[in-house]
Chains A and B, each alone.
Chain A
Amino acid sequence: MRLIEQKWSGNCLLVSITKPSTSRIELETSPPSSPAIKFAMARKLGFTFLLLAVASICEAAAIFNPISESHKSAAIELFSPADGSFSSLEEAFEALRTFEILGIDTKPDLKDSTCKSVVDILSSESSNSKDLYHALRVSSLLKCKINKEALTGVTSRLQGSVKDAKSLLDFYYSIGGLTLIKDQTSEVDVLLDDADGIFQSIKALSQSDGRWRYSSNNPDSSTYAAGVALETLSGIITLTSSELDGNLIEALKKDVVKLFENIDKYDDGANFFNDQHQGPVSATSSVVHGLTTFASASGTLNIPGDKILGLARFFLGIGIHGNSKDLYHQVDALACLDQNRALVPLILSLPASVLSFTSQDKLKVRVTTVLGSTSTTPPLSVKLMQVFTSGSKDASIINQELRFDPKEEVHTLDAFPAGVDVGKYIFAFEIVLSDPEHKKIYATGGRTKVPVYVTGAIKIDNAKIEILESDSVESQNKLDLSGKNDVALSANHLQKLRLSFQLTTPLQNPFNPHQALLKLRHESGVEHIFVVGNSREHFKITLDFLGLVEKLFYLSGKYDIELTVGDAAMENSFSQAHGHIDLDLPEVPEKATRPPPQAVDPYSRFGPMPEISHIFRPQETRPSQQLSYAFLGLVFVPFLAFLVGLSRLGANMKNFPTSTAPATFAILFHGGIAAVLVLYILLWLKLDLFTTLKTLGVLGMFLLFVGHRALSHLASTSSKV
């Protein structure tokens, strides 16, 4: 097992444990209920238990930090136009609005070129209400110079399209455009004639659950449309000369309350709206935009503060989006929440949630608006109400007020509450507004639970390693676990190894780390990992080698001793070698299990493959050439002897026919035999059997004929004699 990696990642503690596949954990001398068993079970589940436990803390209490510099850099990266100008005015608005909220400067030449296209669209007769709306939106940000005639023309066209509008988006673009003109200039009359009628025709599209339809012939209702409708209706309120019918506005307020009854919720307290077609980010953003616009137009709304805070948490909790549209929706919604007339959510954040005992860190809390501003927050104080110990539901009630530092604008907890030691805690804070009237303006959301990690150096005492023989100490070595050790032990299978140490926190409490593991590694690379069990602060493991010989695969020899004690909150976690032990184990019996093959280095698979050697049949030993030639000569000796014998016997050719025809046949007969023999030599040297047989057939017929003639002639002559 490699060293425990500790990482403080964001607000959540991650403990990852990497483990080679051949490692084995054995439990020795641990009572069944000891944490060692729990640990081994957790190990079997791939440490999911541990990680889930940590993850569940993160979910139950999460820190939501306000908008940060990383949002700025993401916005610059996502919204910077590639070729120096925006592809559409809608995109231009989203980019410029995000830049404005985040305080990013826009280049003047970009402003000029965008303003030029705004003026083009506004003076063009063919542009529809959607184009006009986007152009006016951009113009409201860039303060483009538009002459009064153009604006008057645009106003009359928009007012006309309001009258002809059928769908929700038609109303939205025209009324939105008129509202923008009203905000930009007071010289043009943008007021609507029949505000009540338009209001009612939009309200007719609303559904009983607070959502809206896009048009009367489209049965699908949408949360995104609800946000659009709220913004449009708020626009109508601002565009009337007289007061609207109060009942209409009251009915709309009820719709908003119904909409919030169907809000979705995450475990960490974040609220959001879902939509079938639009994603949750744009749908929630649309509702927030509509809601805040409506609140500024019509006054207070009866929405619970925790839901507004939940919406703020949703947008802060989703992090940074890689999608420019989502980033715009996120930033725009947060800007709407930052200053609105409904309820302003206040966000409690911790500059650092990991505090070290060793360096005497102090817990600091900052209360800001969602955009991270402290200037608009009201006078308030922060109280630490409860401290939950991780893993238990018990909480000590504290009710301690934090000291406010006006210069740094942070609330500081000067000393940890009694009982807070090294470990993981959940702190419950409460924001108390100094002026009770402010409760109607600001949403503090009751208690905010924040995970806090306290780290510290753990004291290691009484570390010793012993060899026991029938419970009497054979040899004893004291260990300095924080320093270097090089013990050299030897034991046989009748002896025992005992390792013990004590862990105490800075407050002298017993400390139980995530991992306390003893590893024995044989020279051949076979590893055995044992969990060190504990009773309160006292850690002890006894390895009885008699019972372990099978698990150790009867491998005698040198074993390296390595001890790992690690915890996320333990600043002096270690995993180091402490020497070796020479084990003398009995001989391997026949049926003993073999040690598993050692894991191959994963990088070796990219190396060269082993060379393949081909095995050929070895060359037969040949005799020396002289010997073969000698025997070749020897073979001719009997032949010579045969010839000599023939001459001695007085063999002759007297019987050879003398007359022409029989002599010819006799010569042909002998020539035929010679031809067949030559054919056989050719078969040996190069021909195949089939060609040979074909030729042999022809030769055989010839030979049969001439042979018959020659021999019958001989027979006739011999019978005459």
Chain B
Amino acid sequence: MGRSPTTKDDAQALFQSLRSAYAATPTNLKIIDLYVVFAVFTAVIQVVYMAVVGSFPFNSFLSGVLSCVGTAVLAVCLRIQVNKENKEFKDLPPERAFADFVLCNLVLHLVIMNFLG
């Protein structure tokens, strides 16, 4: 399927609308998003390193990547709970959500550190 000027314009229009919609997002959610992106990119760099060098020592690789992925997942969970748009977490204060996030991270990293070798 060839690219026509119309589809290019459509795509540009789509990105424009996405950016304008995202600009309305509260700053604390943007910080969390940025944190998730940071974690995912760190994981990607480790995967690339593994692809270049080899999987030895495999447990260290796994703990590094899982640490990043786990953190990202927990951050996403935090974002869901903190988002005011989500009605089901309306009664949950964001401080409580942050406390959960910290606790889960501490438990996750205990396991990660133990597995690191």
Q: Establish whether residues B102 and A707, one from each chain, have CB atoms under 8 Å apart when the complex forms.
A: yes
Q: Establish whether residues B98 and A681, one from each chain, have CB atoms under 8 Å apart when the complex forms.
A: no
Q: Establish whether residues A680 and B109, one from each chain, have CB atoms under 8 Å apart when the complex forms.
A: yes
Residues of B within 8 A of A (CB): 27, 30-31, 34-35, 37-39, 41-42, 45-46, 48-49, 52-54, 56-57, 93-96, 98-99, 102, 106, 109-110, 113-114, 116
Interface residues of A in 661-709 (CB under 8 A from B): 673, 676-677, 680-681, 683-684, 689, 692, 696, 700, 707-708
CB of A621 closer than 8 Å to a CB of B: yes
Can you give 14 contacting A-B residue pairs, CB < 8 Å? Answer: A623-B53, A638-B42, A639-B42, A641-B41, A645-B37, A646-B34, A649-B30, A673-B106, A676-B106, A684-B116, A700-B106, A708-B99, A711-B95, A711-B98
Q: How far is the CA of A718 from the CA of B30 in the complex (A)?
A: 19
Q: How far is the CA of A645 from the CA of B98 in the complex (A)?
A: 21
Query: In the assembled complex, which residues on chain B have CB atoms less than 8 Å from the CB atom of A641?
Result: 38, 41
Q: How far is the CA of A637 from the CA of B116 in the complex (A)?
A: 22
Q: Establish whether residues A638 and B38, one from each chain, have CB atoms under 8 Å apart when the complex forms.
A: yes
Q: How far is the CA of A631 from the CA of B114 in the complex (A)?
A: 23
Given the known inter-chain contacts A638-B42, A639-B38, please indicate yes or no for A646 contacting B31, CB distance below 8 A. Answer: yes
Q: Establish whether residues A689 and B54, one from each chain, have CB atoms under 8 Å apart when the complex forms.
A: no
Q: How far is the CA of A641 from the CA of B39 in the complex (A)?
A: 11
Given the known inter-chain contacts A635-B45, A642-B38, please indicate yes or no for A707 contacting B113, CB distance below 8 A. Answer: no
Q: Establish whether residues B46 and A711, one from each chain, have CB atoms under 8 Å apart when the complex forms.
A: no
Query: In the assembled complex, which residues on chain B have CB atoms less than 8 Å from the CB atom of A719?
Result: 93
Q: How far is the CA of A684 from the CA of B57 in the complex (A)?
A: 15
Q: How far is the CA of A639 from the CA of B27 in the complex (A)?
A: 19
Q: How far is the CA of A621 from the CA of B57 in the complex (A)?
A: 11
Given the known inter-chain contacts A623-B54, A711-B99, please indicate yes or no for A642 contacting B113, CB distance below 8 A. Answer: no
Interface residue count on the A side (C-beta < 8 Å) = 37
Apart from A649-B34, A651-B31, A715-B95: 9 A-B pairs, beta carbons within 8 A: A621-B54, A627-B53, A631-B49, A634-B49, A638-B41, A638-B45, A639-B42, A642-B37, A650-B27
CB of A620 closer than 8 Å to a CB of B: yes
Q: Establish whether residues B45 and A634, one from each chain, have CB atoms under 8 Å apart when the complex forms.
A: yes
Interface residues of A in 78-133 (CB under 8 A from B): none
The minimal Cβ–Cβ distance linking B34 to chain A, given in whole angstroms, is 4
Across the interface, A635 reaches (CB within 8 A) one of B30, B42, B53, B99, namely B42
Interface residues of A in 619-662 (CB under 8 A from B): 620-621, 623, 627-628, 631, 634-635, 637-639, 641-642, 645-646, 649-651
Residues of A within 8 A of B (CB): 620-621, 623, 627-628, 631, 634-635, 637-639, 641-642, 645-646, 649-651, 673, 676-677, 680-681, 683-684, 689, 692, 696, 700, 707-708, 711-712, 714-715, 718-719
A715's nearest neighbour on chain B, judged by CB, is B95
Q: How far is the CA of A43 from the CA of B19 in the complex (A)?
A: 106
Given the known inter-chain contacts A627-B52, A642-B34, A707-B102, please indicate yes or no for A635 contacting B114, CB distance below 8 A. Answer: no
Q: Establish whether residues A645 and B110, one from each chain, have CB atoms under 8 Å apart when the complex forms.
A: no
Query: In the assembled complex, which residues on chain B have CB atoms less than 8 Å from the CB atom of A638?
Result: 37-39, 41-42, 45
The minimal Cβ–Cβ distance linking B100 to chain A, given in whole angstroms, is 11
The minimal Cβ–Cβ distance linking B23 to chain A, given in whole angstroms, is 11
A687's nearest neighbour on chain B, judged by CB, is B113
Given the known inter-chain contacts A638-B41, A673-B102, please indicate yes or no for A680 contacting B52, CB distance below 8 A. Answer: no
Given the known inter-chain contacts A627-B52, A714-B95, please indicate yes or no for A680 contacting B34, CB distance below 8 A. Answer: no
A-B pairs with the 10 shortest C-beta distances?
A: A642-B38, A638-B41, A711-B95, A623-B53, A680-B113, A645-B34, A715-B95, A631-B49, A620-B56, A638-B38
Q: How far is the CA of A124 from the CA of B99 in the complex (A)?
A: 123
Q: How far is the CA of A712 from the CA of B99 in the complex (A)?
A: 10
Q: How far is the CA of A676 from the CA of B46 in the complex (A)?
A: 25
Across the interface, B46 reaches (CB within 8 A) one of A635, A637, A673, namely A635
Q: How far is the CA of A719 from the CA of B94 in the complex (A)?
A: 11
B49's nearest neighbour on chain A, judged by CB, is A631
Q: Establish whether residues A642 and B45, one from each chain, have CB atoms under 8 Å apart when the complex forms.
A: no
Q: How far is the CA of A276 from the CA of B39 in the complex (A)?
A: 106
Query: In the assembled complex, which residues on chain B have CB atoms less than 8 Å from the CB atom of A646?
Result: 31, 34
Interface-centre pick from A621, A637, A641, A711 (highest chain B CB count, 10 A):
A711
The minimal Cβ–Cβ distance linking A49 to chain B, given in whole angstroms, is 73
Q: How far is the CA of A646 from the CA of B102 in the complex (A)?
A: 20
Q: How far is the CA of A621 from the CA of B55 in the complex (A)?
A: 11
Query: In the assembled complex, which residues on chain A have CB atoms less than 8 Å from the CB atom of B42?
Result: 635, 638-639
Query: In the assembled complex, which residues on chain A have CB atoms less than 8 Å from the CB atom of B30?
Result: 649
Q: Establish whether residues A642 and B35, one from each chain, have CB atoms under 8 Å apart when the complex forms.
A: yes
Query: In the assembled complex, which residues on chain A have CB atoms less than 8 Å from the CB atom of B45?
Result: 631, 634-635, 637-638
Query: In the assembled complex, which residues on chain A have CB atoms less than 8 Å from the CB atom of B93?
Result: 715, 718-719
Query: In the assembled complex, which residues on chain B have CB atoms less than 8 Å from the CB atom of A651?
Result: 27, 31
Q: How far is the CA of A381 from the CA of B31 in the complex (A)?
A: 141
Q: How far is the CA of A627 from the CA of B50 in the complex (A)?
A: 12
Across the interface, B31 reaches (CB within 8 A) one of A621, A649, A677, namely A649
Query: In the assembled complex, which residues on chain A have CB atoms less than 8 Å from the CB atom of B94?
Result: 718
Q: Establish whether residues A689 and B114, one from each chain, have CB atoms under 8 Å apart when the complex forms.
A: yes
Query: In the assembled complex, which residues on chain B have CB atoms less than 8 Å from the CB atom of A631?
Result: 45-46, 48-49, 52
The minimal Cβ–Cβ distance linking A708 to chain B, given in whole angstroms, is 8
Q: How far is the CA of A696 from the CA of B106 in the complex (A)?
A: 10
The minimal Cβ–Cβ distance linking A254 to chain B, given in whole angstroms, is 108
Q: How far is the CA of A719 from the CA of B116 in the complex (A)?
A: 42
Q: How far is the CA of A434 from the CA of B69 in the complex (A)?
A: 130
Across the interface, A680 reaches (CB within 8 A) one of B48, B54, B110, namely B110
Q: How far is the CA of A683 from the CA of B112 in the complex (A)?
A: 11
Interface-centre pick from A645, A681, A692 (highest chain B CB count, 10 A):
A645
Query: In the assembled complex, which residues on chain B have CB atoms less than 8 Å from the CB atom of A637?
Result: 41, 45
Q: How far is the CA of A651 from the CA of B30 in the complex (A)?
A: 10
Q: Establish whether residues A712 and B31, one from each chain, have CB atoms under 8 Å apart when the complex forms.
A: no
The minimal Cβ–Cβ distance linking B24 to chain A, given in whole angstroms, is 14
Query: In the assembled complex, which residues on chain B have CB atoms less than 8 Å from the CB atom of A689?
Result: 114
The minimal Cβ–Cβ distance linking A667 to chain B, given in whole angstroms, is 15
The minimal Cβ–Cβ distance linking A312 to chain B, given in whole angstroms, is 95
Query: In the assembled complex, which residues on chain B have CB atoms less than 8 Å from the CB atom of A714?
Result: 95
Interface-centre pick from B35, B38, B46, B98 (highest chain A CB count, 10 A):
B38
A711's nearest neighbour on chain B, judged by CB, is B95
The minimal Cβ–Cβ distance linking B105 to chain A, given in whole angstroms, is 9
Q: Establish whether residues B31 and A683, one from each chain, have CB atoms under 8 Å apart when the complex forms.
A: no
Given the known inter-chain contacts A623-B54, A649-B31, please indicate yes or no for A712 contacting B95, CB distance below 8 A. Answer: yes
The minimal Cβ–Cβ distance linking B94 to chain A, given in whole angstroms, is 8
B115's nearest neighbour on chain A, judged by CB, is A684
B31's nearest neighbour on chain A, judged by CB, is A651
Q: Establish whether residues B95 and A684, one from each chain, have CB atoms under 8 Å apart when the complex forms.
A: no
Q: How far is the CA of A401 from the CA of B76 in the complex (A)?
A: 133
Query: In the assembled complex, which residues on chain A have CB atoms less than 8 Å from the CB atom of B53?
Result: 623, 627-628
Q: How far is the CA of A89 from the CA of B4 in the complex (A)?
A: 141
Query: In the assembled complex, which residues on chain A have CB atoms less than 8 Å from the CB atom of B56?
Result: 620-621
A716's nearest neighbour on chain B, judged by CB, is B95
Q: How far is the CA of A684 from the CA of B113 in the complex (A)?
A: 6
Q: How far is the CA of A714 from the CA of B28 in the complex (A)?
A: 15
Q: How far is the CA of A673 from the CA of B35 in the complex (A)?
A: 18
Query: In the assembled complex, which residues on chain B have CB atoms less than 8 Å from the CB atom of A645?
Result: 34, 37-38
Q: How far is the CA of A637 from the CA of B46 in the complex (A)?
A: 12
Query: In the assembled complex, which residues on chain A have CB atoms less than 8 Å from the CB atom of B46?
Result: 631, 635
The minimal Cβ–Cβ distance linking A631 to chain B, given in whole angstroms, is 5
Q: How far is the CA of A715 from the CA of B93 in the complex (A)?
A: 7
Across the interface, B27 reaches (CB within 8 A) one of A649, A711, A715, namely A649
The minimal Cβ–Cβ distance linking A17 to chain B, given in whole angstroms, is 66
